[in-house]
Structure 1
Amino acid sequence: MPVERLPERDGDLPVLITDETIHFTLPQTKLYIDNHLEGQGIFHVTTKRAIWLSSDASTVGYAIDYPFITVHAILRDKSSFPEQCLYCQLRTEDLVDEDGEEEEAPLPELHFAPADPSRLQELFVAFSQMSALNPDPADEQADESSSGSDGSDIGEPCRVWVADDNDAAMEDVEDDDEML
């Protein structure tokens, strides 16, 4: 499940899935979904998911599988967003309109804004490490199908000219230099 609303929780901790551990926790973190403030909560970076649990309401929380997050970055520019935060863009499926034409769906955006912005780099590093452990399986399939693994795209071997080992071959060049 790419995005889960209200993941199971045990107080301030998420209930973990098989082989999942908490790698990093950042309390007092606001979550904005498409610029709408969801509240303040605890952000857990686990080995499988990014999980935000509201501190204000035990019925509010989100768990996002890493492959569903297409972009993540530190956002410090206050002209782009009012708080320094970890910015995440989520993957969407293209929509098909009435005429059968594909339309791009709006990209959902998340902003995780810690009360202490000095912890953003630490959060980003932890998030990046855990995201790298969970690549998007669709990307791997695309790589395999476009890699030309059948060998049909391999051309002729290169022919390279290699000079003979002949120390005397350039002796007359020195004589020409002396004439100048």
Structure 2
Amino acid sequence: MLSPISQPPRFISQENWNALTSETPSSFASIPPIIRHQQENVTITFSPDWEGYGEQGLKGTLFVTEEALSFLPTASTSGFTLPYPSITLHAISRDNAALGPCVYCQLDESVQPDAGAALPVVERENDGHYHPEDDEEADTPMREMRIFVGEESLEPIFLSLSHCASLHPSIFDAVDGMSDDEGIYADPSTFEPFTGEDGEELSAVGRAALAHLESILVWPVGQGPNAAAEDAVEDAEEEQVEESKEEESKPVVNGK
């Protein structure tokens, strides 16, 4: 959950970290976390609002360290630090015409249990299908955060967030007693994929995430999202070639 800060977080470069750990230190806890990305002229907004950031947000410096995501505004001291398990989703979005492209994040602001406390157990129907009512019962408070920055900085921030988040798996990953193996070897026949039928539509965030995934995926030949259109163009080109060959092979009569 969001915690206010009034000064930059502690951090260290990868090179300095390597130098400090080249010999066993007296305490690893005393070594600051590695910073993966630092970006100035970043604008942060929250929905619902947090600490007066408002719809226009505040501009300042973003710090992506391996410990947490932090931000310190240029014109005030109302910064924040955010642990990675609280970021349940992050994706590149280009839907905001006013402020430009951003890294969109969904934040889980539910109270985090103590490290020594037992994990909550939520009873769910164990039939392999997703049941929306299960999430409604949990009633988890959510907040949206948008990190507005220039186009050239979107990918570095997104990749840095992804790397650091992978170092901090959510403490709720083990809820429901599901082991890692059960998640890996789940039966795909029980999945209920999004099909767009019955008036279903992806949200703006879903479209942005899908567009980003499609831009970085390398599809096997004939299996991409535009495979049908590509096949149709290829067939049309082959037909034109065949027709040209047939015209050239026709006998010439009276010099015609």
Which residue pairs with 2:93 in the alignment?
75
- Asked whether 1:88 is paired with 2:105, we answer yes
Identity of aligned residues (%): 26
Counterpart among 72, 81, 95 of residue 53 in structure 1 = 72
CA separation of 1:26 and 1:138: change in aligned 2, threshold 3 A? same
Which residue pairs with 2:36 in the alignment?
23
| Aligned counterparts of 1:136 and 1:83: Cα–Cα separation in 2 | 30
Which residue pairs with 2:154 in the alignment?
120
CA separation of 1:78 and 1:36: change in aligned 2, threshold 3 A? closer
Which residue pairs with 1:4 in the alignment?
3
* SS class of match (1:137): coil
CA separation of 1:136 and 1:103: change in aligned 2, threshold 3 A? closer
RMSD: 2.8
One-letter code aligned to 1:91:
D
Q: Aligned-pair distance for 1:82?
A: 4.1
Name whichever structure is richer in strand by fraction: 1
| Aligned counterparts of 2:66 and 2:79: Cα–Cα separation in 1 | 18
Q: Which ranges of 4 or more aligned residues in structure 1 deviate by more than 4 Å? A: 16-19
Which residue pairs with 2:171 in the alignment?
137
Which residue pairs with 1:152 in the alignment?
none
| Aligned counterparts of 2:3 and 2:38: Cα–Cα separation in 1 | 19
TM-score (norm 1): 0.64
The structure whose Rg is larger is: 1
TM-score (norm 2): 0.46
| Aligned counterparts of 1:56 and 1:148: Cα–Cα separation in 2 | 45
Instruction: For structure 2, list consecutive stretches of 5 or more residues without a partner in the other structure.
Output: 12-28, 48-53, 112-135, 182-256
| Aligned counterparts of 2:168 and 2:38: Cα–Cα separation in 1 | 18
Q: Aligned-pair distance for 1:146?
A: 2.2
